[in-house]
Structure 1
């Protein structure tokens, strides 16, 4: 039968077999039979998607819809974008069914589940909102003329937003975590857009069809109690055991196996290492999760990379850790690289590999600007210069949970001249991101 193909593949115009599924389905406009086409694909820098397109030959009705093909994200996500330029209006937006949209200056909100998921732009969101408000205006003008006049005024305000005489704030919030706003300056920092992840409450979990937190904990505790009798395994036994369980490939969605092992990092703490190998697409991933709880304070680690010794430092980037390279104006959140136990050199190489794998991404498609491609290529060259030792930079790990680590070159494990460690009280936003109820104000203290 030949080699199996990934379930979710990169969208490629040259793909001879895009594996589009066609289903005969009812047209909701004329009630004749039309055709729904379904395509499973991936958006680089984002995730797997299910694209659906319906068309009816009888009446010409068409409808496009997008749904996430990935599992519901562990956290919800909130994007806050300051729209200043026409380029901002043209930023591509991926929104799910559970996405709510706000325009702060107009006190305007599109509630979650009021629109289907779609791939659009900021301007497209405004146009769709205008069309929705205009739809019933003829009836309102006859039945409620005063209300119709007020809505006409508000529609004009929405249209004026596209003139950009003044900037406005666009907030996209998705409890499923499956939405996205394009960064036209990628891989550099997006100065106009902030991204915040948050822990869902029980009501939001129920809306997504997820068990309550208490129910999940109860099931997990019962499963552990039944599967591992008390006293049967010591910590040394667990550290020497490699556990294997079935999962899905994070790259193509195919069935595969994940190996999991607990180990101890000298001068630090226990961690859980998870390795997944996919025989279908060849993807290999290694992820590290903390074996302990959230620390009392957040942790910020800065290391100057000036020599080969600095490249060889052991490094643990936890799944809650933000990463920055100030000299390159580069910053990524915890979801970009996940948890990793590697070296400084290995982490920078992983950044380069991940960016290099997605050169033909959402922001570098047919509609991308030449300067964007050039900026991206220049960034990859700078990463090469760092790895070759020709460009000195500072690597910053900022972990609100305090579970990240960079090795010191001193025998007593105290910070050396190139290593700086700072402990700090978490901000309200960071506590929300970690799901902690006890909120503290941010206050940095050097260790």
Structure 2
């Protein structure tokens, strides 16, 4: 077992000589075996070891487990870092995992450890495969349990549960039993005690077979990730908490690659793919196929995917609506910030540039009070021949994203007559000017 451990660690470059390794120990058989093996090889590998344990207070045995792990640390003569907290409510398994890894990473940073070692083994990997397959998590989810992910290492993935039990028995290792491991209301336990034994009737060597398939899938996923990253970088327009992609570019991709680019986009905004299912991806794919102007779908983790004409946007949902800019006066020679726009009014003769829609030219001989405001219900702009058109229709025709319309600048005179919509349209009475003495410039910040 120890020789296999060393060979697996070397093959996957899990532990380097001189590493400081923090070992997550619950007190159960898996983590006890991991700690014992690491302590047996620490001199050979010239590594330092410490134990980390967190007490969630979920079971009456929790304090017993914490005391047992403390006695293990003393026996192996290694430092121990402990945490304690009360977990209540739903989704306890997932929340406990998040808290555990957050605790481990905090110690990693503060105490300068290079690696966090956890005791996942081959059976755990197969269970995760079935759980994620049932959720429709895609290829990424099927191969999510890797030997190494950044500073997290899983040096027991080569071993089955039987291998671990044999090692514990031969070395007379003591450990604690977690009574919740038999609770079939926990999905992982259902897979462990019902699904895998049933399928083992078809293939007695099921765990090894699935583990080998996961390894093959992992290689395919690594290749696909390289291809996906290439297309994502070419297509994605990243911002602080959102990403947008051109719909026409997505439509050109192979359907499978299209889905992977979407997952990569979600990962950029969310920083993980937790709870992102096949149904979520299919909902976004329907947005891409839609011919309507604007549509959106809600995603786990307070994300929203929206189709606005020729763009697909994935972003975090804001907790409250953004404040609308207040009505402001435009003063010659002074730049004005209005929401995400900068506006500047200047006097002086100039010739109109027909191509530049960020400028409006006004030939006005009398003093004119100009203001900028947000749109209002019933707003209309003169389009010529005595006709007007609603501002709503103007925005739709110009394909202004729906989320931008409420804060879009509208230039009006003191009678509240709309003169100009920056980058969109000039009111007809002001549009036929070749020479001007008043210029308004508008640029997005």
- Please classify the TM superposition score into its range, dividing by the shorter chain length: under 0.3
Bigger Rg, structure 1 or 2? 2
Bigger fraction of residues in strand = 1
Taking structure 2 as the reference length, what is the TM-score of the superposition?
A: 0.21
Between Structure 1 and Structure 2, the one with more helix by share is: 2
